[in-house]
Amino acid sequence: KNEVEQSPQNLTAQEGEFITINCSYSVGISALHWLQQHPGGGIVSLFMLSSGKKKHGRLIATINIQEKHSSLHITASHPRDSAVYICAVSRLKGNTDKLIFGTGTRLQVFP
């Protein structure tokens, strides 16, 4: 079993829909990251959170430490949101940060 599980693996939506991507983890963490990867391969960090909720534009990320679960929400989705969304957790190893990645959720938003 992977230490970080995401669902769904693939998601299609119509423009304007509200989207939720879920992430569960089974290890102790110092922080959880939501990352966005476009087809070219580069990764952009969307959020890093260790408790509660963060919002940036149409994106909202929440985390429940007790339940070891996080969600990424996209409101009023748009075709440019089409990408792979990756959940990763940070584990402190010595003095540095070790990331454990989920396998990603591929989102396609159609006009």
Partner 1 sequence: EAGVAQSPRYKIIEKRQSVAFWCNPISGHATLYWYQQILGQGPKLLIQFQNNGVVDDSQLPKDRFSAERLKGVDSTLKIQPAKLEDSAVYLCASSPPEGSGRGQYFGPGTRLTVL
Contact set with partner 1 (CB under 8 A): 4, 31, 33, 35, 40-45, 48, 86, 88, 90, 93-99, 101-104
Q: Please, which residue, 12 or 14, has the CB nearer to partner 1? A: 12
CB of 100 to partner 1, least distance (A): 8
Q: Please, which residue, 43 or 65, has the CB nearer to partner 1? A: 43
37 and 104 Cβ atoms separated by less than 8 Å? yes
CB of 27 to partner 1, least distance (A): 15
Write out the DSSP string of 11-80.
EEEETT--EEEEEEE-S--SEEEEEEE-TT--EEEEEEESSEEEEETTEEEEEETTTTEEEEEESS--GG
111 and 15 Cβ atoms separated by less than 8 Å? yes
Q: Please, which residue, 45 or 64, has the CB nearer to partner 1? A: 45
CB of 87 to partner 1, least distance (A): 9
